[in-house]
Every structure is written in structure tokens, then in C-alpha cells.
Amino acid sequence: MWRWSDPRARKAGVQLVALFAPEHGVRGTENHPFVQGEVDARSGLIVHSLYQNGTVPPADSLLAGVDALVVDLQDSGTRTWTYVGAMLYSMRAAARLHLPVLVLDRPDPITGSRIEGPMLDRALADANDPAPGHRGKAHALYAVPLRHGMTMGEMALMFNDRLALGADLTVVPAKGWRRAMWFDETRLKWVRPSPSLPSLTSVLVYPGLVMFEATNVSVGRGTEEPFQRVGAPWLRSRAVVDLLADRLIPGVRFETERFTPQSPADDKYGGVSIPGVRVVVTDRDQFSPSRVGAALLWAIARTSRDSLTFRLPRFDELFGSARAREAIVRGDDPDSVLDRELPAVTAWRESVRRYFLYR
């Protein structure tokens, strides 16, 4: 929403009366879980947080005096990204109050032509608004693939239809975008959606590593390249890299390294030099983040199973499937595990084509 907090918007006849911030603030610069009460420097308006130790809907009282709700957010192309949840909860609140919703669409940064599972198990999904005082499951809203290949506008159309929200919804398409385009092919300026996704490469690898957030493995928060590495004091990085090299995974190579997280937002190993595995994308068109993540999980479990711990059900909500996690950890081939997800992923893709705004 940063463009709408610019004073120039007033010259176009737009009167900004309230700002609602997702997890990382109105400009994607916040890395703490609660941004309530800050004043936006450009507009002078108080920022009302939609992230309070979990994504929450805007309160009805905060929507008083609002004539329309504008959603202008950059998605990451990954199911676990909480901005989609902020949009869904806001759409439901707007529908209840009969407020029009205008979604200014943006490109899926990692293309809209590639999708990858696992699908989110329906038993783990919860698209309902959280109860007062409870944390919303914006990272596990709806049964979609991990890399979903949709834009925010297309997701809004899908939610409005499939969840029968009844929102007065208008989506303004991203002019000139095509599904096969990467963000850096749009000639648009890259604006990081969060401090932890500083580059397009981090956004691309993110779907494969985000599940490790719910383990005792660091994903490189507190370094210059988060979500492009994993590490832990107990990690046998050379053994992991050797196992992965034998798999000949397309579009990637793995390197051993040591890194030191500095004041990491996840509090994992701050100030400690730890052995790690760096994910180096060599061909992004062949690179499969979900298969890389599954292979990393398999290799780490195979070399250090007694040291690897999980925070459940959070891990399964991020990865998408308890069944898939259990299979990989016990040593099943990770590619075979993901191959079993392909029919469901393909069927889902066909079922949502009606919401596509781009070729």
C-alpha cells in the first residue's frame, strides 16, 4: 500500500483515511511481529496492524469512515505468505460492512506458469477469521500448492467465489504482465516484500526452505542472503552436500559454508558461527524449490536425525502435508514423495484457470 500513502495520491482525488499494514508493515521494512500504532511518515496517518502475533482482520471500528478498501500488496508466489491472509480477512470484513474492495494486482515474482506441491492438506487449512485474541493461520489458509502460480488479484477472485465472501470486488490487472514472466523481466523496480526476502533469488528459493522455520535449523535470517542457506551447530554440512550432489538435481548446486546470524528475527544461533549448506541457483527455469527443500530435508534427516527437531503442526502447515514429512524423514525418496502429489496439483491448476487474468 506504500503508493497510496504518498501525498501525490491526494491530487488524484483520493483521500486516504486509514492505513492497514500486513506482517512486514506498509513498506515491507518491518521484521517484528507487531507494528501497531506507528505513524506513517508520508501521510501522517496511524498504521493499524493486521499482524498481531498472527494475521488478524481489521476491526469494524477501524473501517468507520472508509468508503472503499484498496489492497496493494506484493505477494511472493508462495502459499505460506501471510499477505494473502491479510487480504482475505480484509475482504471478509469489507463484505460484512458493504464496502467495495479494489485490488491493484501485481506480478507473481516467480512466474505464474510454474506450480509445485505439496498441496496443503485440507485438515490443516483454515480460511476462517481467527477468534478474538487468537492467531490467524494466514500461512495455511486454503488447499493450494506450495508454489501456486497466481497473483493477489487472482487469489482474491478465487476466494470471493469459492468461499462465498460476497465482496463487491474489483481487480485492476497488472498491465503487460504475462504468466511466463519473472519479476526482473517486467522492468519494474524490485521492492522487497519483507526484510527477509531482499532479492528475487531469495523469493525463488523461499518456498523450498520456509518449512525449516519450524525446525531447529536456521534459514539464514540475520545474514545478507536469507532463505538461500540452511545451518545448525550440529549440521554435518559436508555429508549433506555429498548426498545432494549424488542426486543431480537440475538447476542448483549445493556448497558447504559457515555463517554467523546477526540478531536473527527467529532467534536461531545469533552470533554463533555455524556450519551450513548454501543453495546456489544455476538455472532458475529448471530450479524446483519444493524438490530442493524436500531433498534437503531428506539429507539432513539421513545424516542427523537425532539432532533435527520439528515444531508441529507448524512444519506440516508450512510444508503442506504431515504424510509427506513423515515419508521423507523415514528415508523415502523425496522426488517420489512429491510425485505422488502431482495429480492433485494438476487437478487444482485446471480448476482455478477460470480466475486467471493473464495468459
What is the number of residues in the chain? 359
User: CA 198, CA 175: separation in Å to the nearest integer?
Assistant: 24
Beta strands in 18-158 (DSSP E): 19-21, 47-49, 69-71, 101-104, 116-119, 145-147
- In this structure, the strands spanning 19-21 and 47-49 are parallel
**pLDDT at residue 213, as a whole number:** 98
Amino acid letter, residue 64? A
Q: Between the CA atoms of 108, 110, 111 and 116, what dihedral angle is there, to the nearest 10 degrees?
A: -110
The answer as to whether 210 is a domain residue is yes
**pLDDT at residue 119, as a whole number:** 97
**pLDDT at residue 33, as a whole number:** 53
**pLDDT at residue 32, as a whole number:** 60
The answer as to whether 285 is a domain residue is yes
H/E stretch holding 148 = none
The answer as to whether 145 is a domain residue is no
Which set of grid coordinates corresponds to residue 267? 532467534
**pLDDT at residue 132, as a whole number:** 75
Q: With contact defined as beta carbons under 8 Å apart, do 279 and 202 qualify? A: no
52 — pLDDT class (breaks 50, 70, 90): confident
Q: What percent of the chain has pLDDT above 70? A: 95
Q: Which residues pair with 171 in a beta bridge?
A: 103
**pLDDT at residue 54, as a whole number:** 79
Which set of grid coordinates corresponds to residue 124? 490443516
The answer as to whether 162 is a domain residue is no
Where in the sequence is the domain holding 333, given as residue range(s)?
A: 200-340
Q: 205 pLDDT exceeds 80?
A: yes
Q: With contact defined as beta carbons under 8 Å apart, do 87 and 321 qualify? A: no
DSSP assigned state of 212: G
**pLDDT at residue 2, as a whole number:** 46
Q: What is the pLDDT of residues 294-306, one digit of tens each?
A: 999 999 999 999 9
Question: Quick one: average pLDDT of 50-55?
Answer: 82
User: CA 90, CA 83: separation in Å to the nearest integer?
Assistant: 11
DSSP assigned state of 45: P
Amino acid letter, residue 238? R
**pLDDT at residue 35, as a whole number:** 56
Q: What is the pLDDT of residues 61-103, one digit of tens each?
A: 999 989 999 999 999 999 999 999 999 999 999 999 999 999 9
**pLDDT at residue 40, as a whole number:** 84
**pLDDT at residue 5, as a whole number:** 55
Q: What percent of the chain has pLDDT above 90? A: 81
Question: Based on the structure, what is the number of domains in the chain?
Answer: 1
The answer as to whether 278 is a domain residue is yes
Output the average pLDDT for the chain: 94
**pLDDT at residue 1, as a whole number:** 44
**pLDDT at residue 36, as a whole number:** 62
The answer as to whether 299 is a domain residue is yes
User: In this predicted model, which residue has the larger pLDDT, 55 or 105?
Assistant: 105
Q: What is the pLDDT of residues 135-165, one digit of tens each?
A: 789 999 999 999 999 999 999 999 999 999 9
Question: Quick one: average pLDDT of 180-201?
Answer: 94
* Phi then psi dihedrals of residue 292, to 5 deg: -65, -45
Q: Which of 186-200, 235-249, 322-336 has the lowest mean pLDDT?
A: 186-200
The CB density around residue 359, as the number of other CB atoms within 10 Å, is 9
CA 115 to chain centre: 14
User: In this predicted model, which residue has the larger pLDDT, 233 or 59?
Assistant: 233
Angle (CA) 240 244 249, round 5°: 155
Q: Which residues pair with 48 in a beta bridge?
A: 20
User: CA 55, CA 156: separation in Å to the nearest integer?
Assistant: 17
- Listed residue (251, 272, 259) closest to 227, CA to CA: 259
User: In this predicted model, which residue has the larger pLDDT, 46 or 179?
Assistant: 179
| CATH code where residue 244 lies | 3.90.1150.140
Which set of grid coordinates corresponds to residue 332? 523415502
Question: Quick one: average pLDDT of 319-327?
Answer: 98
- Listed residue (319, 332, 325) closest to 119, CA to CA: 319
User: CA 231, CA 13: separation in Å to the nearest integer?
Assistant: 51
**pLDDT at residue 8, as a whole number:** 60
**pLDDT at residue 78, as a whole number:** 98
Q: Between the CA atoms of 77, 127, 93 and 350, what dihedral angle is there, to the nearest 10 degrees?
A: 50
Q: Which residues pair with 218 in a beta bridge?
A: 231
The answer as to whether 96 is a domain residue is no
User: CA 256, CA 238: separation in Å to the nearest integer?
Assistant: 6
526482473: which residue's cell?
184
User: CA 264, CA 328: separation in Å to the nearest integer?
Assistant: 28
Omega of the bond leading into 57 within 30 degrees of 0 (cis): no
The answer as to whether 214 is a domain residue is yes
506482517: which residue's cell?
23
